[in-house]
Amino acid sequence: MSFSNSSNLPALPEDFDLSDVRKEIDDIDRQLLDLFVRRMHVAEKVAAVKKRTGAPIFQPDREREILERVEREGGEFGGGARTLMATIIDISSTYQQMLLYGDDGKLRKKFMTAGRIIKGSKIACQGAAGAYSHLAAKQFFGEDTEPIFLPKFQDVFEAVTEEYADFGVLPLENTTAGAVNDVYDLLTRHGFYIVGETDVAINHCLLAPKGAKIEDITEVYAHPQALAQCARYTQTHGFNTNEYSNNAVAAKNVARWNDPTKAAIASSVAGKQFGLDVLEEGIQDIDGNQTRFIIISKHMVIRDGADKISLTFTLPHRTGSLYRVLSRFAANGMNISKIESRPLKGQNFQYRFYLDFNGNVHDERVCALICSLSTEMSYFKFLGNY
């Protein structure tokens, strides 16, 4: 985006101040607003024609032609003019989506027929009894919940696929160590829905066989996320760290080995479960550490009061493509609470984006935006409203 430099500033009378300039700006802004409103009313006519002819809302060739012309005619302000026009086009597309597919949009129909109540009692978790996923399952489904425990994240997805379980409970991100990338990838691969979430406070403990002392410990076992969350502690003590599939499984094996030089990082519940001593509690590097767990299902469930929506999509590798998507949420007054990217395998520097924002699909503006994006993007998946 190019603008004039200071050498091109206009010469102004001495008595010309900001109030004079602001009056001029206010007048121009009123004209812009009037033109914008007029354009949106014309968009209603466009929608009516498209409904009669069956023409698609998103017409990339027409859009590209408009944006190239605007940039060319904008001269030194061409880049800014293109950005402004792109935003107007995006707002218009979303509005047309709302007008055209109020009753018959495919994705909209799924929203209307989604379940409202989480039904089923078979829950699958990765790890073992006493794992943080176990605590998350009890926290979400109730203290009497007795999940099926499986070795890997993949196994939880397969259990839901084969309907050995109705729901899976999986960690998605931690406030210290960040995203659990394997779960993001599996969520996309299986096409499941997120139907709920719960945050679990993480209080890591150093667990060892009965009678062991901290000075005896040389080897520590835990999930990579837990090791990252306790890195300062393990480095200070000079422990050798070993990655494990799950903290509770690590605790279970430390109990089985019964070796005073080996310890696990896990919850105190896991320590109690496997008869281990808590040598030290709260060893995570940062207080207030929490992990966000999601509840996955093969079936879409949108409960009353759902206020968070998760999407995943890919974008063309072009300047401004991500900005254009994000600006549409801002234009509709929607708050984005998280955005995450994952590289696409075999496609250098191409990414799949995961986005969370606040809203409910039964809000017409929210539904129209999601439906509009779903028709415009080469890859788009609604992950859930929960």
pLDDT in tens, 59-95: 889 999 999 999 999 999 999 999 999 999 989 988 8
- When computed from its CA atoms, the radius of gyration of the chain, rounded to whole angstroms, is 27
* Residue 116, H or E segment: none
In 3D space, the residue among 85, 103, 101, 53 whose CA is nearest the CA of residue 375 turns out to be 101
Q: Are residues 309 and 366 in the same domain?
A: yes
Specify which residues 336 forms β-bridges with.
357
In a domain, 195, yes or no: yes
Which residue has tokens 């234009």? Answer: 331
The pLDDT score that the predictor gives to residue 2 is 52
Q: In which band, very low, low, confident or very high, does the pLDDT at 102 lie, cut at 50, 70 and 90?
A: low
The pLDDT score that the predictor gives to residue 277 is 98
Tell me, what CATH number does 159's domain have? 3.40.190.10
Angle, in degrees to the nearest 10, between helices 321-331 and 364-376? 160
Inter-residue contact 274 to 255 (CB < 8 Å) = yes
Residue type, 202: I
Inter-residue contact 78 to 70 (CB < 8 Å) = yes
d(CA 268, CA 213): 17
The mean pLDDT of the chain is 92
d(CA 140, CA 292): 12
> Which residues span the domain enclosing 96?
17-100
pTM for this model (two decimals): 0.79
d(CA 78, CA 137): 54
d(CA 80, CA 156): 48
Active site residues: 291, 293
Hey, what are 27's tokens? 């007048």
In a domain, 279, yes or no: no
Q: Are residues 196 and 209 in the same domain?
A: no
Give the sheet arrangement for strand 308-314, strand by strand: 336-343, 351-358, 308-314, 380-385
Q: Are residues 309 and 324 in the same domain?
A: yes
d(CA 165, CA 158): 9
Tell me, what CATH number does 89's domain have? 1.20.59.10
Q: What is the pLDDT of residues 319-356, one digit of tens each?
A: 788 988 998 898 888 999 999 998 888 777 788 999 99
Hey, what are 143's tokens? 């203290």
Q: What is the pLDDT of residues 282-297, one digit of tens each?
A: 999 998 889 999 999 9
Q: How many domains does the chain have?
A: 4
> For the chain, what percent of residues have pLDDT higher than 90?
72
d(CA 194, CA 319): 31
Tell me, what CATH number does 355's domain have? 3.30.70.260
The pLDDT score that the predictor gives to residue 258 is 98
* Residue 173, H or E segment: strand 167-174
The pLDDT score that the predictor gives to residue 103 is 47
Query: For residue 113, what are the contacts with CB-CB under 8 A and spacing of at least 6?
Result: none
In a domain, 7, yes or no: no
